[in-house]
Chains A and B, each alone.
Chain A
């Protein structure tokens, strides 16, 4: 550590960092714009000026930019120096010359970094009386609004969007004070992480369009710490509510998981909470609304029967799944995953228990220095992982920088030095992926060939001889050797696979992990990614053999009359024929859900449950990490948390369900550690969900009652539906929305971190439920013999649409596409179809549009089944593994009337004209 004197106080600072970062870590107020905690320094804005003195005798000193100055031992500095303060105020005065005076109508107002820094710098009165520079704004799609006049030209947006997130359609244009940040022409910002621009922009240039449409000031939002259920990563988020509707979602810092960024599915997909498809009341078999009491009575009657089975859900919380399991008995509790997905989860869970492996957090994925991606388009499955992988390929540049003695925080210098040299990333995939642009090795094959190639790679890694006869189709032995050497030579090799790659590929991924583990002393990073928010938690509750297929078997044997289906659309989990057969033999189909599905339509009793922001719950992510998500607001209808329908409400609270779950199921024994620690409250006072400036408390309900209503009481939680109480000071995991004096924007997070980019002070990052005590083994992998005629089918995934919930969010619907069948140009000409034609899967009624893609292997069809919430869709499991496509002269009428088209398709290998 270096001893540095700042305004007479001696600090011990980390010499690896720049002065600005270290000053912020020490809690000092140094204003800045262009620096970002995870994007390093470029020295553009000149706002973080401080005074540096040569020695004790130097009274004049020199102004330096803190972000561009390395920490050096013995340095003498001043933040408070008058000349420097005047300069910092001058920078604000400059930035303000063309900034509009529109704070009162600007969405950023009240959480604006520019407002904060302006106040901090002390610049007050406008002297600039010349014309302001004005710009045209662009349409940037359904997520982001653009108001360029507010721009202060800090370059953060392009540094984030292009350099950090790999975007290609936002750029700095023109020069001098006409510098413009936008697209080359109006159109949707394509990057899957575009929403973070809202938080990266220090002022109101890029704002959340979905929020603006139903706007509320930050201080008027009711917020609570929450966890995204959009995929299996479990990013920490802060949803904000007012007047009973969810207004927006912003990132909530978690140093091990999402850090500062979330994906667009998480940010904009959460709007499904306000969807018109929400189930707001109980319904009987005829679809008529019934009272809660009647519904409970009907449920009670059914539950008196013997052998009622329960089908759980990977999108429902642990508590909901556990309550169902308790109510029907573990032997009658069945997986809500499809059978192949369930088999995949078994491999994932066994890998989580295997001492050969370590399942890396997002932060750890960023540290990988050689990555193997097997059969998964991770950007469309678990997006946040893809953003982390994009950072991992830069580790080589950081090494090069260290060799050249360039500090790694010198962002542009490090990028300049490394140019296009990247750490190895090998992608085995069927068709293009959104990470292809940073791949060192790309193996693009039909599913069976891909599996063979992966098995071969495993052989190469374990030093076995490889059958060379395959080399004409798959990767060359040289390529496999290079990938093997990269993985074995790396200090943090990482293998990423997912359930969407198929069971056999997951086995190969595990095998490769074992082969690498055999050649090193420490565990190998293996990230196996399910697709849903609580896939792992749900799978951990299911008894061995209790698959969905098994449930259907039991129902078919007529031994079961009633089933309880929890937050799950079975038409996404099994072939429609099987679901229909099961439903027909069931007398009672009780469905608990918060959103309409084909399954809820088939219910004989429908019980409304609450969405993620309306109840307290825990979820388990791909790492086996359990996290607590707090309730944000009361849903205002008769819907209640699913467990409340199933357990005795009076004698339970969320905490007691969590406790009971941890007692009953050994894998969940640590679940209670997610709960706020006893003593985390100050003087026993609850943590307010509303800010101390929350307005309209007495007016909000005035339309119904002129008297001030009693504040809603939350008897279950450490949080209150109130502005009264004390902000969490001892447990940052109850911290929903950071705020500190002088820091109203999200940049205030540095005040809550142990150091910049560090853990939250006394916070927790969730609890790892599983312990690694098993010695794993290599699986026998069955490579299918190529006996099948026709095309091999492989599922295509889409960040906007490949999941049940977010598709109900209107902004997401604008980015969704119809179902399609993507084939190569050669395959297309063989079948005799063009892009935009419709094809039928032989032997079925399923009819979809053709998309022709250069990178889809021949004789393969990438199938995207669409989303039930909008557009043309079908049940993916209604088509077999291999199929024959037939051209259809005209699209069926039903398709024509519900078409979204394929114009939102974001792929780089489209053949010919788009959509």
Chain B
């Protein structure tokens, strides 16, 4: 083997991270001042990394496509952040958090990375409290916890239903402090469209100034991608409209390999699609499953009546309600992991028991919790989520059960990184959702915030020093180098090519077409035949796209259509890779269900004998098949079992 060196430190699991830190290189304060780092993206991972690196003394240049770093999509995370504090005395520990995360990810993540994540989780809570993040408190003044899916303990810290917002604003505050100190140069409304590689090392980026349309060059001794996930390849997802995979995809084309692209998470509790004018889907936090009970009618005729609008939920008595999660999974009930809950909803709806006019929705009912705990308690726990639901649907969830359906939410796959979070391009790092590393085939709720902040506050600031310690002799990167010329020309040519097609259809048109194919064939259930068909269909859309795309507006000016066109062009290529990866993995694991690999009871069946690896894809050039490398996954500290939540 091979091109992949995961650099997992030797020694017992619990000592790996401390041993590693003790042996890696450190840059002296005097030398840090001479080193430049680019951070792309300012969400939880990028924002916390940029601030922490600047505090250490590095010169940081940060980019975001939004009009302010505070608007990165981490802001929309609702429910909470996990940590192994064991404040609730319910037998939590670093090991338990590690174990549940590995198990939740269906044994497709690295033990060493996940253990480290659990290990630093507690420091994150301390850090955020010190920043003034207003976490929920008990009456005695101590931090409050709630439960989340896939966990047997209550370890989720939260700030109402706006935990992501509050954590991001904490990181944004830290970032602002460094901007004020002159240690971070912040570029808002800039989109990074290529990575510049010189002598095999990442040395800069090419960015488009989204206000002027200018293509700009930036050099640095190391580049950090914190650009989030690629869920928008499905067009409809819970991601923000601007979320995209372009920087990561261009990094892939420059030599950074891509890990497990087919692993995307479908979140069970989103507001259902209302019609073909829909632009995005809204998540309803997993925390709602603490108190909401999921059900559909037991009788098909009741479902038909609900679909036709001749009956309402309140017409169906308790004994005719099928609380299918409680029925199928008595030990975890409504709090099974996301992939399990999503599939169970789809199974009921496919069988005809859906509860809205499209037949694609199930109930999430708070009637029972309100009866038990009172409306006030429920209002306090979920008030803002209920308000959000009511504004969108015009239905009051205090009086009528919510209707929910699964939607694309998160990408576990991403750029492959080693234990130091470095990609296969030396000097190029990927952190947060942008990398593949910690969640295996399924992410547990409240773990994305944990991973983003772990990477940005407590892991990258250490591991990047190991690389930069060898770069202290490297002078400032010259952005007039021929590699910058080439990369800038590459970006300009690519945009020009899209702009000059002068066809008849908007970027959104193709994006929606792609989304339909993705959802149909690379969505919640996949099979070889469908995946092969998807590859053909995507190739067809791509052909039409390059023939019939219309980009209106001016080339060298603010142009939202051109931005979208470039993102869709990358999504079309990424979609193909996802299909190939899904086709290769003929097992069901986590969010990836192959209908060929199921138990007789209809549960997902993992195949450890053949697929206990990370699929790592290498770009081989335009119109060439990518090459797959395998990083075998070793499990020394957990027993591999078929996941059961029964």
- The finding on whether chains A and B are genuine partners in a shared complex, rather than unrelated, reads no
Measuring CB to CB, which residues of chain B are less than 8 angstroms from any residue of chain A?
none
Measuring CB to CB, which residues of chain A are less than 8 angstroms from any residue of chain B?
none
